[in-house]
């Protein structure tokens, strides 16, 4: 019956995690998946989350009922407050339709299905490059996906002029997927001034923006990283926003996120919310409870929220320290200053090394250092114990082949 089924070659990111776990070499270093590890190489349970778990344990007697299709109402309210804190009027006017989702990927999938139904002829544009799963999710929902220019390989920064020139050519109602901060995979972000220009073009050309937010607070800081959301909301544009709490609450396994659609009016938001519920029902009926409860407890308590924001800031600082330390170590052992400068210029959890897939293979096979085939590294996998070895391997590889192009 199933003889004809195609072999699955594996996911470019998640399959690496399995290979890493099966690698018996003691010195192995995981710089592949976007998973935050602390200085000891451990993915932490955040203190605010641990406290929220105790709160929930004490209340543990309630039966496990189905949540509404749109998720837990108090969680949804907290998510809106967190993301639209600086633009309270959109919230006050009930112009935002928000649902709880299965992580950021779940939000993208519900958003993709919603767009395919509401705008069946619209094409979706993603940055070149983007997170591999963006393409899988949107093509899986039946949307046609194409790239817009984004990354300049020779400078390691955003190819802004080409990006804008391209966006200006798009048909109206085209969908444009953007990363509000900590671009995945490149770590090359738009500046605030550049965001203003992008927003102006989106508005002039009547495009549909879809912001994918998984790393809020990992770039320049929590408020700073929210600039695109704030200005897009203030601009009056209607847009979609998917957000994930996997990384910023270190709650990967709970699959907790949200999809918000910022509409033109309360009436529009009600209609949109209805369609989002219908889309959820068709996909998985309703979301799970526990992760949303944890986040609700943290965000609704001033002290726990402060606690969480402080911990988030520590994660950000550690990743930045690792960026600087890796760069300094490379220079110390003789690397060309300019070749690796991208490390200290790019932001967030990732950087794009420019290593070819062959070099990435060599790093894995000869040095037990795991990167994504595109050359993306996750800075959170670095620590004081492995940074020297990683720098030496990077330099050896660069000298051997001399092809790091950034």
Nearer to ligand LMR, 147 or 171 (CB): 147
Q: Which is nearer to ligand LMR, 108 or 280 (CB)?
A: 108
Distance CA 159, CA 188 (A): 10
Q: Which of residues 107-136 bind ligand LMR (CB under 6 A)?
A: 131, 133
Min dist. Cβ of residue 135 to ligand LMR (A): 12
Decide: residue 205, CB within 10 A, 0-12 exposed, 13-18 middle, 19+ buried: middle
**Is residue 212 annotated as a catalytic residue, yes or no?**
yes
* Whole-angstrom distance, CA of residue 370 vs CA of residue 290: 32
Establish if 381 lies at the interface with ligand LMR (CB under 6 A).
Answer: no
Q: How far apart are CA 141 and CA 150, in angstroms?
A: 24
Interaction between residue 13 and ligand LMR (CB under 6 A): yes
Q: What DSSP designation does 288 have?
A: -
Query: Of the candidates 30, 80, 184, 289, which one interacts with ligand LMR according to CB under 6 A?
Result: 184
> Is residue 353 a contact point for ligand LMR (CB under 6 A)?
no
Residue 108 Cβ vs ligand LMR, minimum distance, rounded to whole Å:
11
Q: In sequence order, what are the residues at sequence separation of 6 or more whose Cβ sits closer than 8 angstroms to the Cβ of residue 275?
A: 114, 117, 118
66: tokens are 């189905």
- Reply yes or no on whether 131 is catalytic: yes
Nearer to ligand LMR, 131 or 342 (CB): 131
Looking at beta carbons, which residue is closest to ligand LMR? 34
Q: Show the site string, 21-40: x = touches ligand LMR by CB under 6 A, - = not.
A: ------------xx------
Number of neighbouring beta carbons within 10 Å of residue 35: 16
**Nearest-5° Cα angle at 150, 314 to 124:** 100
- Which three-class secondary structure state does DSSP give residue 98? strand
Active-site positions read 131, 212, 247
The binding site for ligand LMR (CB under 6 A) comprises: 13, 33-34, 131, 133, 184
């Amino acid at each position: 019956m199933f003889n004809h089924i195609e072999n699955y070659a594996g996911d470019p990111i998640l399959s690496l995690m399995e290979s890493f776990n099966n690698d018996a070499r003691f010195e192995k270093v995981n710089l592949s998946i976007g998973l935050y590890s602390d200085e000891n190489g451990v993915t932490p349970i955040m203190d605010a989350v641990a406290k929220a778990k105790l709160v929930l344990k004490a209340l543990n007697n309630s039966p496990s009922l189905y949540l509404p299709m749109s998720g837990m109402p108090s969680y949804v309210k907290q998510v809106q407050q967190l993301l639209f804190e600086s633009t309270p009027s959109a919230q006050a006017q009930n112009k935002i339709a928000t649902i709880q989702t299965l992580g950021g990927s779940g939000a993208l999938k519900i958003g993709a299905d919603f767009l395919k139904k509401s705008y069946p002829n619209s094409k979706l544009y993603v940055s070149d490059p983007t997170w591999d799963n963006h393409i899988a999710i949107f093509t899986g929902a039946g949307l046609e996906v194409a790239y817009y220019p984004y990354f300049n390989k020779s400078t390691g920064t955003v190819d802004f002029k080409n990006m804008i020139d391209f966006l200006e050519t798009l048909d109206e109602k085209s969908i444009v997927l953007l990363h509000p901060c900590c671009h995945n995979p490149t770590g090359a972000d738009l500046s605030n001034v550049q965001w203003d220009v992008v927003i102006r073009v989106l508005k002039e050309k009547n495009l549909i923006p879809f912001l994918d937010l998984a790393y809020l607070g990992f770039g320049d800081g929590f408020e700073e990283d929210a600039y695109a959301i704030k200005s897009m909301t203030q601009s009056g544009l209607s847009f979609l926003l998917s957000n994930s709490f996997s990384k910023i609450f270190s709650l990967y396994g709970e699959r907790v996120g949200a999809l918000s659609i910022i509409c033109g009016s309360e009436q529009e938001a009600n209609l949109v919310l209805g369609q989002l519920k219908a889309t959820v029902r068709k996909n998985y009926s309703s979301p799970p409870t526990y992760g949303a409860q944890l986040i609700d407890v943290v965000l609704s308590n001033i002290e726990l929220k402060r606690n969480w924001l402080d911990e988030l800031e520590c994660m950000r600082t550690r990743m930045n320290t690792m960026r600087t330390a890796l760069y300094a170590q490379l220079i110390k052992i003789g690397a060309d200053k300019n070749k690796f400068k991208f490390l200290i210029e790019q932001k967030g959890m990732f950087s794009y090394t420019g290593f070819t897939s062959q070099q990435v293979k060599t790093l894995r096979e000869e040095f037990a250092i795991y990167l994504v085939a595109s050359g993306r590294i996750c800075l959170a996998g670095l620590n004081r114990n492995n940074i020297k070895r990683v720098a030496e391997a990077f330099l050896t590889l660069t000298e051997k082949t001399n092809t790091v192009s950034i």
